[in-house]
Amino acid sequence: MASFPPRVNEKEIGKLLLNLVDHTEVVRDLTFAPDGSLILVSASRDKTLRVWDLKDDGNMMKVLRGHQNWVYSCAFSPDSSMLCSVGASKAVFLWNMDKYTMIRKLEGHHHDVVACDFSPDGALLATASYDTRVYIWDPHNGDILMEFGHLFPPPTPIFAGGANDRWVRSVSFSHDGLHIASLADDKMVRFWRIDEDYPVQVAPLSNGLCCAFSTDGSVLAAGTHDGSVYFWATPRQVSSLQHLCRMSIRRVMPTQEVQELPVPSKLLEFLSYRI
């Protein structure tokens, strides 16, 4: 017999269901676990992340402590097992969300880190910072696999404090796992391939603050400080066989398990995201 979703009571639409009160400062970001468990994580200027169970009337399950300054953003891995949180003082933390313990701190940025996003296979992590860079990490071993600089022309100088007119505000992975988008204060939005060190496309955008891809990756949306939202159709590209193979295998095993496969070294290289 076919099952149907419960009928929505029109009187309940728009009604406040829960008010989660525990943070002592501004809440900067929220993210739901992708597994549908209704676990919510909030990131705050009070230097903490808080884990809430919305199935249990919004009960706060855990406080994640470790940040020494503001927490700007957080993101779950696609399998919900890992959380990345980023913040002031160059902070990039990875958390085990089964045990609610810190896995490691990723070191490499030179200024506040303000945005993060996992690739759809969970193999890669993108972080955006006021140091004018986006880094692509292997979150399973902490390696930086790629650096995208937002100062032109190259070579890109390194500023410990960044360059105020080039601060990167947002980063987002596309559903194809091959592209990311970034917004910076230089009035541009950039569309990158993860295997190229220069943008595939660049478009003008003033006062950019945040960006996100549509589910199928065909549209990029960006929000601005002045309250506007802009949309772009993203370039269409066919993924290589290598990228499709990497995506497929990394959906079921992390870096360490891929490296331990009993296959020829050339095949391992083919299947691995590498520096």
For the domain 160-239, what is the CATH code?
2.40.10.500
First to last CA, the chain: 52
> Domain 15-150 in CATH: superfamily?
YVTN repeat-like/Quinoprotein amine dehydrogenase (2.130.10.10)
Taking the model in full, what pTM does it have?
0.90
Question: What is the Cα 243 distance to its own chain's centre?
Answer: 19
**Helix (H/G/I), strand (E/B), else coil: 271:** helix
pLDDT digits (tens, 9 = 90+) for 220-232: 999 999 999 999 9
Round to whole Å and give the CA distance between 163 and 169. Answer: 13
pLDDT digits (tens, 9 = 90+) for 83-114: 999 999 999 999 999 999 999 999 999 999 99
Residue 134: strand pairing partners:
128, 148
Round to whole Å and give the CA distance between 108 and 135. Answer: 9
pLDDT digits (tens, 9 = 90+) for 66-78: 999 999 999 999 9
Q: Which band of pLDDT confidence, cut at 50, 70 and 90, is reported for residue 151?
A: confident
* Domain regions of the chain by residue span: 15-150, 160-239, 241-271
Cα 219–Cα 225–Cα 227 angle in degrees, nearest 5: 70
Round to whole Å and give the CA distance between 56 and 123. Answer: 31
Q: Quick one: average pLDDT of 243-255?
A: 94
One fold for 15-150 and 160-239: no
Q: Which band of pLDDT confidence, cut at 50, 70 and 90, is reported for residue 13?
A: confident
More confident: 10 or 87: 87
Q: Which band of pLDDT confidence, cut at 50, 70 and 90, is reported for residue 1?
A: very low
Work out the mean pLDDT of the chain and round it to a whole number. Answer: 90
